[in-house]
Structure 1
């Protein structure tokens, strides 16, 4: 029987399951953005630029400014956040450091003006109006759909990256970061993209009392280096079971050496070459943390996870003759890894399914101390082919799943249905 995972620290994208209530709750101005699925939302977000053009010419290559004189889009952006929303958020309980930062740029350096404890609306307005301070929200998608920053800035300059920024939101003096490579003036409805690592500075043009900009940060911890760190341990796990050389002991007292001896470096280099050779042609790599981390820090589907809504799998149980189909594919990952409940050397592989359907928006990206958990199921490796059938996205009859017995087929479907991961058609 499958067991639930205990909380711990190039397929076609599936359309999200429509939700009538979600669409009814959206204001009319949001009609300019398409929330049917992540892909349709992104298409509407960068319109009129085509997705293929964006990824071919701009993604991680160069900045892109999309200027749009669309009144409805400008009204949509303006509705995302306003100064009047600040008072409502304060009444919900915002705390300095955890939820909000108040800061200023003085002589090219960031100065934090945070008080202790709970943030009071009158104090925030005083800092904002009198000290011309910037108010930065931490993970504001906990309160609204988008990542927002309320700042007294609107004019963007991009600089050649001659020196890295010491920390997020810090601003270096212009003489230290070189000559601006781009200079943009944004208006409501405009969208500015720049690749990761781009040094940037925002200024308010003269005559403006304040401005609000929305920042969407994407693709963090998704570099090739992250992938190697994540998959190399699984690759070693697989190869060490077959190659006895990986299981031989290291030289005695090697860990006591201050420097690594040349013969040890050569030995490790040989092992790395063996790993590289074995990597060619592999269709699956054991993922240790990247997939779990991605799902743990992913928001639930737009209309759930607010603390009151729950996913309802429906009243119809999946029986052998029923057709089923995967749903919420963008919120689920499937991976193979060692059995986390075994401590002996003969660990067996298991299939793990992690999902974000039960993630809570109010604690999103707030760390383990905020109660972040990983939700999902685990199955024997013998279930992997049946799960791949379901993961293709096409409807399939329960009795056609590639498992040995009808009991296994129905138990698999029932387990997925209980977590609201499949629909019974």
Structure 2
């Protein structure tokens, strides 16, 4: 199952909340279009089209886009520079938690962290004298424009998007050849970086042993990136990068997504509830197991055969009856850990405008940051198996802890999800509100007038609905 508060490209170390200074003025769009998630992704991979990218490259093969656009290169440089680190060190950055200092030596990663709080003078010394790479974790916590970029990408992919900045001095390499279990986009921000990509030993790999460099074969791609260029490669792609001689230093940003977003992960999420529902109507699934089955040292072929019979029957019923599968854990993990809307202030989520009435037309606010789930009631009562609808949102998520994991105290307390709960009878009306731009309150489906008012008032009170 997806893990709450997981990191992409995680590091070891204690988690501490770092104060963030937020700007409250919207930055200029520059060469990227932020009008919609799709428009943004289209501008990010320009001149390639979105359809061509997903048909020919996504989860299939690397893509290298060399762009000789001075405006784009300037915008990329503004996202993060080596000079930004001096100011960021004043926020009380911690080694391992916020950044690593590392270098690839003889094919192995050597971590050169000092421990404790990061001092810029020591960081600069290690960078210049030890030729160490600075790996800065989740810079969107501090850089508003990266918050903006990653918020749009999370809306586009419907998946968490993490990031790291890698700053590597001349003639040095930070990491040995390695692979990641995420889809990776590389933005070259400063200088030049030499990249080598190798064919993965397992398609869409998650787990396999990476041998030494001399055994991983001939590179499938060997190229130089400069400011404004973009590189994409699928998860499982073995890769390495270094700053060539003659280049003062190189800075690139990794944008990583689609961790634990496979069909297998989805089936692990939806299958338990589907099986539970099937047991209610299929008495064969409620028949007792053979005597002493659990104490057997091994199960014979007849047990495998019986399980196959059940699975085929379940698949036939799912296809024939077109039952709606319920995805819960993956949705909750995403909505509770994603970024809040860009530059959102808490005053923005207060009830907007007049209170809704039956005569009004209404629309959902922050639709890209809301999710519907159907699941069992979480009340500790006899009705705990009753199905209810949850409207979950990310409006109060903390940007400063995005993709930084959770503390032991938070894990013990359990997840606290922001949103509202409604009876299952309200599902059709909620789907109506989520699918249409505007809906007349009186036209909400399958509920009485009193429930229509209760539903819209609940959403309005949470700041999720406005009267048009």
TM normalised by structure 2 equals 0.80
Corresponding residue of 2:365: 327
Measure, in 1, the Cα distance between the counterparts of 2:445 and 2:231. Answer: 48
How far the C-alpha of 1:164 sits from its partner, in A, is 10
Matches within 5 A, 1:169-208: 173-208=212-247
Look up the match of 1:245: 284
Q: Which runs of 5+ in 1 are unaligned?
A: 1-7, 10-21
Q: Pick from 349, 374, 388: which aligns with 2:417?
A: 374
Q: Which moved more, 1:308-317 or 1:58-67?
A: 308-317
Work out the CA distance in 2 between the residues paired with 1:171 and 1:70: 37
CA 1:182/1:382 → structure 2, altered by over 3 Å: closer, same or farther?
same
* Partners of 2:384 and 2:327 in 1: CA distance: 19
CA shift, 1:142, in A, is: 1.4
CA separation in 2, counterparts of 1:355 and 1:324? 18
Match status 1:113 vs 2:112: yes
Q: CA offsets per residue over residues 254-284 of structure 1, 9 Å max, x none?
A: 3333322333322222221122112215252
Which residue does 2:11 correspond to in 1? none
Taking a change above 3 Å as real, the CA distance of residues 270 and 392 of structure 1, as seen in their structure-2 partners, is same
What pairs up with 1:59-78 in 2 under 5 angstroms? 59-78=58-77
Partner secondary structure for residue 220 of structure 2: strand
Q: CA separation in 1, counterparts of 2:360 and 2:46?
A: 40
Q: Which residue of 1 aligns with 2:339?
A: 299
- Which residue of 1 is the match for residue 78 of structure 2? 79
> How far apart are 1:133 and its partner, in Å?
1.0
Name the CA shift for 1:235/1:31 in 2 (closer, same or farther; >3 Å): same
Match of 1:268?
Answer: 307
Match of 2:399 in 1: 361
Distance 2:216 2:226 in 1: 26
Please state how far the C-alpha of 1:400 moved relative to its aligned partner: 1.2
- Whether 1:386 and 2:429 are equivalent positions in the alignment is yes
Write the deviation string for residues 288-326 of structure 1: whole angstroms up to 9, x where unpaired: 311111112211111227xx6652332322222111112
CA–CA distance in 1 between the matches of 2:204 and 2:313? 38
Deviations 1:89-121 (A, max 9, x none): 111121122211111101001111122222221
Q: Does 1:256 align with 2:304?
A: no
How far does the alpha carbon of each residue in 1:71-91 deviate from its partner, in whole angstroms, 9 at most, with x for none? 111110001111221122111
Three-state SS of the structure 2 residue aligned to 1:333 is: strand
Task: State how far apart, in whole Å, the 2-side matches of 1:311 and 1:319 are.
Answer: 20
Q: CA deviation at 1:346?
A: 7.4
Give the Å deviation of 1:57. 1.5
1:92 & 1:132 partners in 2: Cα distance? 24
Other-structure match for 1:162? 201
d(CA) in 2 for partners of 1:333, 1:165: 28
| Contact persistence 2:351–2:460 (CA under 8 A) | yes
Q: 1:233 aligns with which of 264, 268, 272?
A: 272
**Structure 1 residues 346, 218: CA separation in 2 closer, same or farther (over 3 Å shift)?**
closer
Q: Distance in 2 between matches of 1:121 and 1:399?
A: 61
Task: Determine the C-alpha separation between the residues in 1 that align with 2:463 and 2:325.
Answer: 27
Decide whether the 8 Å contact of 1:163 with 1:176 is kept in 2.
Answer: no
Unaligned runs of 5+ in 2: 6-21, 147-162, 174-192
Distance 1:53 1:38 in 2: 17
Q: How far apart, in 1, do the equivalents of 2:377 and 2:39 lie?
A: 37
C-alpha distance in structure 2 between counterparts of 1:166 and 1:232, whole Å: 23
How many angstroms does 1:125 deviate by?
A: 1.3
Change (3 A) 1:88 1:166: farther
CA RMSD of aligned residues (A): 2.7
Deviations 1:364-396 (A, max 9, x none): 122232857421222111001101110113201
1:365–1:335 CA distance, 2 compared to 1 (3 A): same
Aligned residues: 402
What residue number does 1:289 align with?
Answer: 329
Distance 1:367 1:252 in 2: 45
* 2:165 counterpart residue number: 149
Name the CA distance, whole Å, in 2 between partners of 1:185 and 1:312: 49
Is the contact between residue 376 and residue 384 of structure 2 (CA under 8 Å) also seen in structure 1? Answer: no
Equivalence map 1:51-66=2 (5 Å): 51-66=50-65
User: C-alpha offsets along residues 194-238 of structure 1, whole Å, 9 cap, x if unaligned?
Assistant: 112111111112111211101111222211111111111111011
Distance 1:341 1:255 in 2: 32
